[in-house]
């Protein structure tokens, strides 16, 4: 009987420890881009993005804070954005967190927008045209002018974004 009680106490302690201290891995992070008029080129510090970006395609990414800028010949402006991607945390009992899908909308005449879309199940295999390619040079020369900064908490996640335009060197 003592042995049975000992096993029951050990089992109960292990269950409590498992429920309170063991959560699953964070979900995956995806980033996509959209636009009305395709930008001509882009620069980024995000090492997970390919050299050519296709519209409405989910790219596997990672948590972190990144810089992204793009040039739009339609407006003549180079616009930039710093953004932070955050994964959804895992659940109790080793269940992984849900995937987080983010999107940057590259406007020609307005500031770029970062939003978190619905959760996704995987990567979109299609690559619709048009696309933009990574510029060969380092981030554009000129004066970086910050035009906005905000933090948004909505639906269990927090987005921090700042951005603006690059004024050409004189």
Pick 96 or 140 by higher pLDDT: 96
Q: Give the model's pLDDT for residue 25.
A: 78
Q: What is the largest CA-CA distance in the chain?
A: 87
Q: Is residue 38 part of a domain?
A: yes
Q: Cα separation of 19 and 11, whole Å?
A: 12
Q: Is residue 159 part of a domain?
A: yes
Give how many domains the chain has, as a whole number.
Answer: 1
Q: Is residue 96 part of a domain?
A: yes
* Domain span at 146: 23-167
Q: Is residue 27 part of a domain?
A: yes
Q: Is residue 8 part of a domain?
A: no
In tens, the pLDDT along 71-124 reads 989 999 999 999 888 877 777 667 777 888 889 999 999 989 888 875 444 444
Q: Is residue 1 part of a domain?
A: no
Pick 168 or 79 by higher pLDDT: 79
Q: Give the model's pLDDT for residue 8.
A: 58
Q: For residue 118, count other CB atoms closer than 10 A to its CB.
A: 9
Q: Give the model's pLDDT for residue 107.
A: 92
- Who contacts 7 (Cβ-Cβ below 8 Å, separation ≥6)? none
In tens, the pLDDT along 34-78 reads 999 999 999 999 999 999 999 999 999 988 899 999 998 999 999
Q: Give the pairing type, strands 41-44 and 131-134.
A: parallel
Q: Is residue 34 part of a domain?
A: yes
pLDDT at 140 over 80: no
Q: Which range in 46-55, 111-120, 139-148, 159-168 is most confidently predicted, on average pLDDT?
A: 46-55
Q: Give the model's pLDDT for residue 157.
A: 62
The residue among 41, 44, 103, 50 whose CA lies nearest residue 78 is: 41
Q: Is residue 18 part of a domain?
A: no
Q: For residue 93, count other CB atoms closer than 10 A to its CB.
A: 10
């Amino acid at each position: 009987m003592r042995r049975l009680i000992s096993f029951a106490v050990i089992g109960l302690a292990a269950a409590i420890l498992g429920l309170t201290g063991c959560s699953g891995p964070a979900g995956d992070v995806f980033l996509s881009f959209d636009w009305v008029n395709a930008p001509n080129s882009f620069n980024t510090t995000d090492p997970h993005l390919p050299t050519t970006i296709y519209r409405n395609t989910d790219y596997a990414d990672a948590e972190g804070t990144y810089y992204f800028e793009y040039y739009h010949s339609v407006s003549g402006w180079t616009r930039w954005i710093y953004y932070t991607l955050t994964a959804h945390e895992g659940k109790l009992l080793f269940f992984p967190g849900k995937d987080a899908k983010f999107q940057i909308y590259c406007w020609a005449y307005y500031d770029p927008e970062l939003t978190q879309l619905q959760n996704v199940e995987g990567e979109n295999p299609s690559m619709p045209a048009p696309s933009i390619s990574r510029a060969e040079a380092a981030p554009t020369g000129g004066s970086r002018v910050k035009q906005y900064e905000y933090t948004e908490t909505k639906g269990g996640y927090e987005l921090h974004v700042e951005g603006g335009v690059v004024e050409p060197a004189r």
